């Protein structure tokens, strides 16, 4: 493995899974419910029909649109995400599932994920951001939001509050937020999904990755979780060479999810 491969995560550039579409419909609880039901179905189309039937909106047109919106977060290629489906089926109702769902929101709702990386993560130690910082990022990242800036900002903040990231009440200034201690299962899922495991990587590379920043995981938290993963046998190796720490994973995402305790 080359040094370039080891350091591929040293970038603020997000994974190219979704464009920065306008994020104006959070549907957090509906998305979580849909995710926990996914293991019952063999195809995305069957899953979609179930989501449509479970949504509370009176309008069939709105239910169809919202079902497609939810599916785009978890199955953007309209292929059943088997590892995610198994994870959700086994960990329904847990903090770990909410953390993994938040991760997928950040990936596919790129406007939300990039907002966290660009505005919230640099202010993690302070634990607050100003509303004007959020607005400034949204205006620059997606100029079309200018006409409905308050609505889009509120959607982002409500979503972060639903996932426990934002801790202040609505309309509070500044906006208070905090990093959550990751559940081991969620940490392993995100790590293996983000690094396309099995792989070997410098620890600082993952700490500096877009994904780790979106999860608001500081280096100390990541290092502690790597040690715990190694202790329980779900991390192949931790090493330090010339002061450079590395970790080696030996399982695929599907394998690590299947072996979660």
For every one of its 261 residues, what pLDDT tens digit does the chain have, with 9 covering 90 and above?
333 333 333 445 555 445 788 777 899 999 999 999 999 999 999 999 999 999 999 999 999 999 999 999 999 889 999 999 999 999 999 999 999 999 999 999 999 999 999 999 999 999 999 999 999 999 999 888 888 999 999 999 999 999 999 999 998 999 999 999 999 999 999 999 999 999 999 999 999 999 999 999 999 999 999 999 999 999 999 999 999 999 999 999 999 999 998
Confidence at residue 49, expressed as pLDDT on a 0 to 100 scale: 97
| Residue whose structure tokens are 């996932």 | 163
For the beta sheet containing 200-202, the strands, ordered from the edge strand earlier in sequence to the opposite edge, are 200-202, 244-248, 237-241
Confidence at residue 24, expressed as pLDDT on a 0 to 100 scale: 77
Cα–Cα nearest to 214, from 163, 173, 257, 171: 163
Q: Give the chain's domains with CATH numbers.
A: 28-176 (no CATH), 181-258 (1.10.10.10)
Confidence at residue 6, expressed as pLDDT on a 0 to 100 scale: 37
What's the pTM?
0.92
CB-neighbour burial class of residue 8 (10 A; exposed 0-12, middle 13-18, buried 19+): middle
CA dihedral 94, 123, 197, 109 (to 10 degrees): 70
Sequence-distant (6+) residues with CB within 8 A of 114 are 14, 20, 137, 141
Q: Which pair of structure tokens corresponds to residue 2?
A: 């080359």
Confidence at residue 13, expressed as pLDDT on a 0 to 100 scale: 56
């Amino acid at each position: 493995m080359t040094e370039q491969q080891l350091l591929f995560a040293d970038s603020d550039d997000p994974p190219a899974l979704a464009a920065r579409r306008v994020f104006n419909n959070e549907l957090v609880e509906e998305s979580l419910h849909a995710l926990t039901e996914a293991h019952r179905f063999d195809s995305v189309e069957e899953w979609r029909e179930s989501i449509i039937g479970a949504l509370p909106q009176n309008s069939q047109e709105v239910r169809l649109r919202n079902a497609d919106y939810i599916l785009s977060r978890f199955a953007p290629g309209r292929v059943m995400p088997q590892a995610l489906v198994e994870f959700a089926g086994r960990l329904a109702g847990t903090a770990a599932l909410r953390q993994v769902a938040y991760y997928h929101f950040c990936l596919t709702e790129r406007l939300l994920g990039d907002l966290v990386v660009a505005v919230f993560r640099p202010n993690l130690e302070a634990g607050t951001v100003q509303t004007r910082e959020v607005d400034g990022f949204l205006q620059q990242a997606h100029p079309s939001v200018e006409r409905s800036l308050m609505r889009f900002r509120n959607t982002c903040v409500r979503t972060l509050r639903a996932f426990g990231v934002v801790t202040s009440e609505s309309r509070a200034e500044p906006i208070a937020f905090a990093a959550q201690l990751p559940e081991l299962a969620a940490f392993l899922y995100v790590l293996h999904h983000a690094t396309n495991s099995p792989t070997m990587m410098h620890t600082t590379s993952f700490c500096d990755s877009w994904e780790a920043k979106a999860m608001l995981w500081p280096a100390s938290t990541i290092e502690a979780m790597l040690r715990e993963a190694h202790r329980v046998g779900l991390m192949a190796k931790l090493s330090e060479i010339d002061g450079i720490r590395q970790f080696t994973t030996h399982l695929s995402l599907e394998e690590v999810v299947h072996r979660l305790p």
